[in-house]
Amino acid sequence: MARRKLKKRVPALPAKTAMQLGRGKAEKLLQILREVALKNRSAGPQVFYPIRDVARHFGVPFSTVARVYNRLEEEGILVSVRGSKTLLQGSSSGRHLSVLGFLGMPACTPMFVTLQDYRTFFIRTRRELRARGFAVATMFFEEKDLQSGRLTSRIEKYDVDAILWHRPERSAKETLAQLKDSGSEIVGVSDGGFPPIRCRYEVQREAAIMSILHDWRATNRIKSVLLVRGVQASAQEEMLETLLEEQKLAHEFKSIGNQRPREFLDSLAAEKHPAIIFPPQAAALFAFRAPGSFTALMEHSRVALTGGPVSIPFAKVPEVAADLVVVDWQLVAEQIVTDLISRKAFDRADVTVFEAKAHLRAPLSQYAQSL
């Protein structure tokens, strides 16, 4: 029987001018192709751009594009067909292998694109699951998919053996209830905030943040701290305020408002705050929109990134230091997969806690995501 041909439905490649940014072309290319792929995903697989076409279009080496494609494969977005083509994974791909189990991993698209820690969890966990005999379906979704019930329908269509949900948000409460009612086994992994379900695994950052604040107060004699908000308030803010009060550190919030990211950061540098905290969403926003000003701020102030390292796709990361809250995601992945194999992951009476570590004055260039 003749193989059914796939029609290419992804749009034309973005304008070449998008890559005229000097250094950091690989990260910028990764960002462009990831966004194009996630935005244009359909139910079935589609033929994606040939590597040579991408290299020729943007004027980058073939090897650079190949590394980018490898990263997108690790993230579960692309799949290569040996001796043939690269495909954009469909949202309704079924199970075709004899495997130990079939896991569904819902991933919030905006968080996956912007938050390095969130994305790293999926990359490490998918890799560990596949290495130990599981099939994995990453189900990208947006807020509207929760409200419309589309994500619930997609998960039920996959007919997965269990669902591994990282950072379930309050907005997913109805979706989670519907899945439970249908008999789906859900394993939750919380990372701060107030998850709508009891999570089998918890990532705790409080002790690491406390270590940073203690160092600021005891070693550097810092008495006041600035908490930066991005576009909206962070789920971490209540916890951060409590820890600051315990350390007897005065604090104030500052929001970007209507300012441009670069202008806002430059104003912070001019005010010469001794210590500044960037929660995850704010750090991702400024690292992406104003990387130069963001890293320059670290040359004059103690800066804490409570959501871990950040992705800086537009430029080579300079030799600046920040205080980081770091999670060993490989350890997390290995423990979860081990528990899935032994069925301990479904023990509702137990909770496994992963403690983040504080890395003081850590060179950002060694932690910021790169190829």
93: left (phi over 0), alpha (psi -120 to 50) or beta: beta
Q: What is the pLDDT of residue 352?
A: 97
Q: Which residue has the higher pLDDT, 55 or 231?
A: 55
The residue behind tokens 């350390």 is 247
Mean pLDDT of 234-239: 80
Torsional sign, CA 45, 50, 54, 60: positive
Would you tell me how many other CB atoms lie within 10 Å of the CB of residue 156? 15
pLDDT at position 266 over 80: yes
Would you tell me how many other CB atoms lie within 10 Å of the CB of residue 209? 23
Give residue 15's pLDDT band: very low, low, confident or very high (50, 70, 90).
confident
Fold assignment, 101-199: Rossmann fold (3.40.50)
Mean pLDDT of 346-354: 93
- Phi first, then psi: give them for residue 247, nearest 5 degrees: -90, 5
- CA pair distance 24, 106, nearest whole angstrom: 29
Q: What is the pLDDT of residue 140?
A: 94
- CA pair distance 47, 7, nearest whole angstrom: 7
Give residue 9's pLDDT band: very low, low, confident or very high (50, 70, 90).
low
pLDDT digits (tens, 9 = 90+) for 186-201: 999 999 888 999 999 9
Q: What is the pLDDT of residue 95?
A: 45
pLDDT at position 234 over 80: no
- Phi first, then psi: give them for residue 174, nearest 5 degrees: -65, -40
- Which are the contacts of 349, defined by CB distance < 8 A and separation ≥ 6? none
Q: What is the pLDDT of residue 318?
A: 72
Q: Where are the domains of the chain?
A: 16-88, 101-199, 206-327+359-366
Give residue 149's pLDDT band: very low, low, confident or very high (50, 70, 90).
very high
Q: Which two tokens stand for residue 215?
A: 């160092």
Q: What is the DSSP string of 128-170?
A: HHHHTTEEEEEEEE-HHHHHHTHHHHHHHHHT-SEEEEES--G
Pick the CATH number of 16-88 from 3.60.21.10, 3.10.20.600, 3.80.10.10, 1.10.10.10: 1.10.10.10
pLDDT digits (tens, 9 = 90+) for 60-84: 898 889 889 988 887 878 877 655 5
Q: Which two tokens stand for residue 210?
A: 């406390």
pLDDT at position 2 over 50: no
pTM over 0.75: yes
Q: What is the pLDDT of residue 297?
A: 92
Mean pLDDT of 314-327: 83
In the chain, the percentage of residues whose pLDDT exceeds 90 is 50
Q: Which of 100-109, 228-237, 282-291, 311-320 has the lowest mean pLDDT?
A: 311-320
Q: What is the pLDDT of residue 63?
A: 87
Q: What is the pLDDT of residue 317?
A: 66
Q: What is the DSSP string of 308-325?
A: ---B-TTSPPPS-EEEEE
Mean pLDDT of 240-246: 92
Would you tell me how many other CB atoms lie within 10 Å of the CB of residue 328? 14
- CA pair distance 202, 354, nearest whole angstrom: 6
- The four Cα atoms 142, 147, 151, 156 give a dihedral, to 10 degrees, of 170
pLDDT at position 4 over 50: no
pLDDT at position 52 over 60: yes
The mean predicted confidence, pLDDT, of the chain is 86
Mean pLDDT of 120-139: 92
E-only strand ranges, 16-100: 46-47, 78-80, 86-88
101-199 has the same fold as 16-88: no
- Supply the CATH classification number for the domain 206-327+359-366: 3.40.50.2300
